[in-house]
Amino acid sequence: MRLDARRDHHRTRRAGFVALLCAVSVIAWEGLLHGQAREPIEPIPLHQDLDPRKVMLGEGLFGDPRLSEDGKVACTSCHLLNRGGADVRPLSIGAEGRAMSVNTLTVFNSALNFPKNWEGNADSLDAQLGMVVHDDRILNTTWPRLIARLSADTALVSKFQKVYPDGVTQATITDALTTYEQSLTTPNAQFDRWLRGDAAALKPDELAGYQLFKGYGCVSCHQGVNVGGNMFQVLGVVGERGAYFTARGHITNADYGRFNVTGAEADRFVFRVPSLRNVALTAPYLHDGSAATLPDVVRIMFKYQLGRTADQHDVDLIVKFLHTLTGEYQGKPLDADDPTRSGQEAARR
Amino acid sequence: MTGTATPIPPATPVAAQPPAGFARPVRNWIRARRLLLGGIGCAFALVIAVRTLHSGNGAFERAEKLLVEIRQMDARWTVEVLSLELGQMGNYDAITRPVPWLRTAFIQLSEVTRDLPISGIERDRLQSLSRTADSGIAGKTELVERALSQYAILNNSLRFLPTASRDLLQAINSADLSVEKKADAGALLASLLSDTMASFNRDDGAARGRIEATRHALQALVAPVASLTPQAEALFTHTDITVQQRRVGSELLDRIVRLPTTATIDTLRDAYTQAGAVHLRRESLQDDVAVGFGAILLILLAYLGWQLVIDIRRLKDSNVQLKREHEEAQVQLIQSAKMSGLGQMVAGIAHEINTPLAYVKATFSVLQDLLSAQFPEVCAAQPGEEPVVKEKPSAAFLQDIKVLLEDGFYGVAQISNLITSMKNFSRLDRTTFGDFSLPEILEGALTISNYRVKHVADVVKNFEDVPPIRCTPSQIGQVFLNIVSNAAAAMVDRPTRGTLTITMRMEDPKTVRVDISDNGTGIPSHILPRIFDPFFSTKRVGEGTGLGLSICYEIVRNHGGKLLVASEEGVGTTFSLLLPILGATAEATERKLATA
């Protein structure tokens, strides 16, 4: 009986190995056959199936300063939806006037990132929300106190009870907020339309910019549906370790990035690659908010990540491509309400 | 002398106790069976509850399904990660997405495990195994993340190498160098590029050494020329990156492939399958036990049902017998009460007759004295001898005799009256049924009981006009006699004469109400509910049968009426008789008296 089992086990393993080989071959063949045709970036889905009542509840909470202990900080304090879902300041100011240690990432399409945050210290939107609630620089509160503040509002409680029989609890608040965050995707960008086969969606310059984006190797890290946001990379691939930080000066603890989470030396100066969706709207850039414009950050990337220099023309073309990544929210281009848009356009030309 | 009128409390009905139903053993058996039935019901509920609780709601199936999915996802993930080796530049979402999926799947597995119908130890074992598998996945995730970073860099450098080589070659060609050196540099450059590119597919120590040597030779060649430095630097940087990342990357992939995640997941799956099999065995055993238990219960239930059928039959029989015996007993009771009533009556009548009889006797004695004084010869004459009357009787003498005779007749009439009353009252052995005047029956009863009442109380009668009622008069008379006798007995101990108040009126157009109130000692409240019980008596043994009132109650009920009592200790007692005018049926009374 035991011998049989062992024989079976061997057989299973052998079969598994053969299957693995086959799978690898198939993927290889697919790569060879369609390598040129398949782009490393895919469009954001146009539709999602979310409960609109939960989205509405979450939207209300997202702008509700009662989430914070001092009643002054809401999610929207730092995630400005008319500024690409991020903060215009290099470092956001949260509870009690305390400054964050890294630049605020956009909330748009954050559901498509894995893991979350610059350090990749949250596996899910739920976990990310839990950190925001307790962080003394952001909401600076606890769940029981937050629930107590919201429960004092009978109108809100009855609204909750219509959607969630349990009423206002940690689980329901989290569900409403994360459902709303999942609704914050920006599909139908110019580039997505091009990916979907609309050849006219990109102007020749923008298409040239995309080819350079691929040719220089930006796409190695900025790929996938979110043009990044799915892997880690060290800031400073080429040159001395930490060269970027030495050049910038005054290294802070936040600059150690993922090292702060894992404690592994290999993770020093490592960050999660940010998504480039709507990147034209989310200045300033990098985890330290040190790059004010897209050309600035593109040049930094060239120097420290690609180990190359690019001429001004190529940088301009790449920046033009990056502008095509601005999507739509609720059917409206994300930059429609941006008061600085015309200024940026002018600066770009 | 009349006793002070005392307010009598209003009559309240006191129902007679129903006859005690069954004998004690029968009652015990019924109670035991009821308990047994309840027990069987509980046992059935228990069996069903156990079956429902232990069904596990398919938790094992869910766990197995999850584990199959986890295994598939892990395998697919490994394939995706290995495809990095193929150098296909692309979309890493497929490599990243399994991570949150697996994390969620393990959380679900933990939740499902919590629902599994297994012991705490077993559950802890499964949870610990699944934690091991989960942390295995976490370790794999870390390696995959690093591999991703490495391969992104590697791909970039690989892609840049031809460009960098071309740039350097162009620079060398236009630099101030000898033709030989240019040719050497070109050859070295070509060899470096091909070796480095090739290292992507075949990475070994020899290749790495060759690349290192070529790199150094080339560096020595171009170093003296300052204008070549940037291009050379770029090429060397990316060559180094390629070689280094290639090594690190393949090491990482090696480690990933060698990770025992699949084996761990298989172990986990085996553990769940085993736990499921054990549970299934236990559950089927429980099934068998439950079915067996259920069968026993059913047999027991069937037995009880059969017993019930037998009992019902037996109960029916004994019921019929009891009914017959009950009727016989009742008839005998009435008979014995009648005899007792007769005894009382005889005593009463004898006493009543004595008075007028003494009177008549006295009259006759005076008459005789008078006669012997006036006409001694008449008195002295022997029987058969003609007396010689010497003189004619005087008018005064005759007048005296006339008066005396009248007195004698009066006495005789009184006796005759009494006899009539007694005759009226004692028609017990005749089934008389018809419309009779209630006051007449009452008067008869009063006459008979007069010898008892007259010494202790005055009788106050308030009779309104009432129609005759349909009844058996001897029975109703017996009721009155009984109540009046009791009332007299209650008033014996009064220091002053009592009052027996009898009122008769219409309660409603169909009912006559007779209230008989005394102001005697009253009935203690703890006794009151029992006074209609058969054989209940407060009298000394030999003085009463204890049947009087229970028979009264029965008689009134047979007449379709009600017998009510109200009493207060020290104040008095009121018996109220409510008799419907057309209440009794001939059959009801006849049946009672059939054997009397």
CB B366 within 8 A of CB B404: yes
- Report the amino acid identity of residue B401: I
Token pair of B486 as six digits: 């009791």
With a CB cutoff of 8 Å and minimum separation 6, the contacts of A71 are: A65, A149
Q: Closest approach of chain B CAs to the CA of A5, in angstroms?
A: 12
The residue whose two tokens read 């429960």 is A151
Picking from B86, B92, B103, the nearest residue to A230 by CB comes out as: B92
User: Which chain B residues have a beta carbon less than 8 Å from that of A40?
Assistant: 89-91
The answer to whether the Cβ–Cβ distance between B90 and A40 falls below 8 Å is: yes
Over residues A140-163, the pLDDT tens digits come to 999 999 999 999 999 999 999 999
Between chains, do A307 and B234 touch, taking CB under 8 Å as contact? yes
* pLDDT of residue A21 exceeding 60: no
If you search the block for the tokens 């034209």, which residue do you land on?
A280
d(CA B105, CA B68): 11
With H, G, I as helix, E, B as strand and everything else as coil, classify residue B562: strand
Residues of B with Cβ-Cβ distance to A35 under 8 angstroms? 88
Rounded to an integer, what distance in angstroms lies between the CA atom of residue B91 and that of residue A220?
A: 8
Count of pairs with CB atoms under 8 A, one residue in A, one in B: 105
For residue B89, which residues of chain A lie inside 8 Å, CB to CB? Answer: 40, 219-220
**Residue whose entry in the numeric block shows the structure tokens 């049926």:** B585
Mutation choice for A interface testing from B72, B79, B258 by most A CBs within 10 A: B79
Of A231, A238, A262, the CB nearest to B237: A238
Closest CA to B556 of B463, B465, B507, B483: B483
* Residues of chain A found within 8 Å of residue B146, distances taken between Cβ atoms: 232, 266
Which residues of chain B neighbour A27 with C-beta distances below 8 Å? Answer: 79-80, 83, 86, 88
Q: What's the sign of the alpha-carbon dihedral B473, B476, B477, B478?
A: positive
**What pLDDT digit, counting tens, does each position of A310-348 carry?**
889 999 999 999 999 999 999 999 987 655 554 444 344
Closest CA to A186 of A260, A258, A111, A122: A111
DSSP A98: P
Residues 111-170 of B with CB under 8 A from A: 142, 145-146, 148-149, 152-153, 155-157, 159-160
Q: Which of A124, A225, A231 shows the shortest C-beta gap to B152?
A: A231
Show pLDDT as tens, one digit a residue, over chain B (596 residues).
333 444 444 444 444 444 444 455 666 767 777 787 788 788 778 777 766 665 555 888 888 899 999 999 998 898 888 888 776 657 899 899 999 999 999 999 999 988 888 888 989 999 999 999 999 999 999 999 999 998 888 888 888 888 888 888 888 888 888 888 888 888 889 888 888 888 777 667 788 888 889 999 998 888 888 888 888 888 898 888 888 888 888 888 889 988 888 889 999 989 988 888 888 888 788 888 888 888 898 999 999 899 899 989 999 999 999 988 887 877 776 666 666 666 666 666 676 777 778 888 888 888 888 888 888 777 777 777 777 777 777 888 888 888 888 888 888 888 887 777 766 665 544 456 778 888 888 887 887 787 778 888 888 988 888 888 888 777 788 888 888 888 888 888 888 888 899 999 988 888 899 999 998 888 888 888 888 876 677 766 555 556 678 778 888 888 888 999 988 888 889 999 998 887 655 455 555 544 44
pLDDT over threshold 50, residue A28: no
Here the tokens at position A28 are: 């290889």
3-state secondary structure B492-548: CCCCCCEEEEEEEEEEECCEEEEEEEECCCCCCCCCHHHCCCCCCCCCCECCECCCH
**Alpha-carbon span B157 to A181, nearest angstrom:** 37
Which run of H or of E encompasses A337? none
Residues B579, B469 contacting (CB under 8 angstroms): yes
Do B514 and B504 contact (CB within 8 A), yes or no?
A: yes
Q: Is B343 on the interface with A (CB under 8 A)?
A: no
Check: CB of residue B351 under 8 Å from CB of residue B451: yes
Residue B420: predicted pLDDT = 74
Residue from A13, A18, A220, A226 to probe the interface with B (highest B Cβ count within 10 Å): A220
Q: For B507, list phi and psi in degrees, rounded to 5.
A: -75, -45
Cβ-based neighbours of B457, under 8 Å, separated by 6 or more: B3, B487, B488, B491, B497, B498, B499, B500, B518
- Show residues of chain A in contact with B75, CB under 8 Å: 16, 19-20
Residue pointed to by tokens 């009788």: B459
Task: Say which residues have a Cβ less than 8 Å from residue B26's Cβ, sequence separation at least 6.
Answer: none
Nearest to A238 among B78, B96, B241 (CB): B241
CB-based contact A307 B238, cutoff 8 Å? yes
User: Which residue from B383, B297, B356, B345 is spatially nearest to B40, judged by alpha carbons?
Assistant: B297
Minimal CA separation from A54 to chain B, in Å: 21
Give the DSSP H/E element, type plus range, for residue B470. Answer: strand B469-471
Contacts 24+ apart (CB under 8 A), B547-554: B547/B333, B547/B336, B547/B337, B547/B340, B548/B337, B548/B482, B548/B486, B549/B482, B549/B486, B550/B16, B550/B333, B551/B333, B551/B334, B551/B337, B551/B478, B551/B482, B552/B478, B552/B479, B552/B482, B552/B483, B553/B16, B554/B330, B554/B334
Q: Which residues of A touch B (CB under 8 A)?
A: 16, 19-20, 23-24, 27-28, 31, 35, 38, 40-42, 114-115, 120, 123-124, 215, 217, 219-221, 223-225, 230-234, 237-239, 262, 266, 270, 306-308
In sequence order, the β-bridge partners of residue B470 are: B435
Per-residue pLDDT at A221: 92
Distance, C-alpha A311 to centroid of its chain: 28
DSSP strand E in A284-330: where?
A: 328-329
Taking an 8 Å cut-off on Cβ atoms, the answer to whether B75 and A20 are in contact is yes
CB–CB contact B241 A20 (8 Å): no
Helix, strand or coil, per DSSP, at residue A251: coil
Closest CA to B217 of B196, B187, B243: B187
CB B9, CB B571: distance < 8 Å? yes
Structure confidence by residue, pLDDT tens digits, A212-259:
999 888 998 999 999 999 999 999 988 888 899 999 988 999 999 999
Average pLDDT, chain A: 87
Compute how many other C-beta atoms are within 10 angstroms of the C-beta atom of residue A12: 12
Length of chain A: 349
Span A116-139, mean pLDDT? 94
Strand B457-463's sheet: what is its strand order? B457-463, B498-508, B511-518, B572-580, B562-568
A301 Cβ contact partners less than 8 Å away, ≥ 6 residues apart: A218
A194 or B51: which leads in pLDDT:
A194
- Nearest C-alpha in B relative to A22: B79
**B324: contact with A, CB 8 A cutoff:** no
Contact A27/B88, CB-based, under 8 Å?
yes
DSSP per residue, B320-335: HHHHHHHHHHHHHHHH
| H-helix or E-strand spanning residue A308 | none
Which of B68, B73, B78, B92 to mutate: most A Cβ within 10 Å? B92
Query: CB–CB of B195/B207 below 8 Å?
Result: yes
Query: Please, which residues bridge with residue B574 across strands?
Result: B517, B566
Chain A residue nearest residue B98, CA to CA: A114
For residue B219, which phi and psi values (nearest 5 degrees)?
Answer: -60, -45
Q: Do B78 and A20 touch (CB under 8 A)?
A: yes
State the Cα–Cα distance between residues B151 and B88, nearest whole angstrom: 10
Closest C-alpha to B263, from A9, A172, A266, A311: A9
Handedness of CA A118, A122, A126, A129 (dihedral sign): negative
pLDDT at A77 over 90: yes
Q: What 3-state class would DSSP assign to B434?
A: strand
Q: Which residues of A touch B99 (CB under 8 A)?
A: 114-115, 123
Q: 211-270 in B: which are within 8 Å (CB) of A? A: 234, 237-238, 241, 262
Burial of B383 (0-12, 13-18, 19+ CB in 10 A): exposed
DSSP letters spanning A38-82: S-S--PPPS-----HHHHHHHHHHHT-GGGSTTS---GGGTSBGG
Closest by Cβ to B93, choosing from A27, A224, A234: A224
**Residues from chain B contacting residue A219 (CB–CB below 8 Å):** 89
Per the DSSP assignment, residues forming a β-bridge with B461 are B502
The answer for residues whose C-beta is within 8 angstroms of residue B594's C-beta and 6 or more apart is B331, B431
Cα(A233)–Cα(A301) distance, rounded to whole angstroms?
Answer: 12
Residue B417, pLDDT score: 78
What's the token pair of residue A313?
A: 């023309």
Q: Tokens 């969630």: give the residue.
A: A164
Residue A233's beta-bridge partner residues?
A271
**Residues A79-115, buried b or exposed e (16+ Cβ, 10 A)?**
bbbebbbbbbebbbebbeebebebbbbbbbbbbbbbb
Contact B236, A239 (CB under 8 A): no
Evaluate if residue A211 carries a pLDDT over 70: yes
Tell me how far apart the alpha carbons of residues B47 and B40 are, in angstroms, rounded to a whole number. 10
